[in-house]
Chains A and B, each alone.
Chain A
Amino acid sequence: MMKLYSENASVKEQPKQETVQYLLSYSKQLRIVKTNKKQYIELHLN
């Protein structure tokens, strides 16, 4: 068995609120349009 990481299962941490807020804003601004060539265009709207 390869040990890749140290064991630390009891850690309980939260991300910063600003990180979560960024993700929510990112999601609201993101529009993804599927083209007829099975490709996607990402639109970031403000």
Chain B
Amino acid sequence: MRSTKISDAILVSNYINGSERSLEVLIQRHQQRIFSFIFSKVLDREIAEDIFQDTFIKVIKTLKKGNYNEEGKFLPWIMRIAHNLVIDYFRKNKRIPTFKNKDDFDIFSVISDEKLNIENELIKNQILNDVKELVFELPEDQKEVLLMRIYKDMSFKEIAENTNVSINTALGRMRYALINLRKLIEKHKIILVN
């Protein structure tokens, strides 16, 4: 007999509507992947158990509050929660470096090109989306320079020619764009690490 697999989105919907069994299926379906991800980072079974538990407690509370709005993206969402809790754990234990607001800090340095495993790829995609959203909050002239430099890989000479400003002005706009991005990251309390 052929069994049909119920999608995460339907299970989430059923759970929100009161089906506790749906949560059980969701946990069973994803527990290995999520727990393995956490364990691969903290390398301690007890700590991994705690973070796994906290991850699902956040999931349960969010779903029961009706605040979940990422239908069809359940796993990336939960992986992001787990990732953030891992970061919190390391921050509390001061086991990772933290970003400092220095002028030479490049926001894009946190995005890697190296071969990624699937979890890191999910996280990287979410970070890229976060950064893109932040870029669109910048003033128009700064956003224009930043998009040309980072996303179109144009030189400052080319940017200056395309925007009818001097190279120094283009450089200045890029500098302010990065400064403002840092401020936006702080304002939105966004964690940009991978």
Residues of A within 8 A of B (CB): 1-2, 4-9, 11-16, 19-20, 22-24, 26-28, 30-32, 34, 40, 42
Contacts and interface: CB of A to CB of B under 8 A. Distances in A.
B110 interface: yes
Interface in B86-102: 87, 90, 96-97
B20 A6 contact: no
Given A2-B193, A4-B96, A11-B40, A22 B53 contact: yes
Contact of B61 (A11, A13, A32): A32
B3 interface: no
Nearest to B21: A24
B57 A26 contact: yes
Contacts of A32: 61, 64-65
Contacts, number: 83
Interface size on B, as a range, is 35 or more
Contacts of B110: 1-2
Interface of B: 20, 23-24, 27-28, 31-32, 35-36, 39-41, 43, 45, 48-49, 52-53, 56-57, 60-61, 64-66, 87, 90, 96-97, 109-114, 117, 119-120, 193-194
Contacts of A30: 60-61, 64
Question: Top 8 closest A-B pairs, CB basis?
Answer: A9-B117, A8-B40, A1-B112, A11-B40, A32-B64, A15-B35, A13-B39, A23-B56
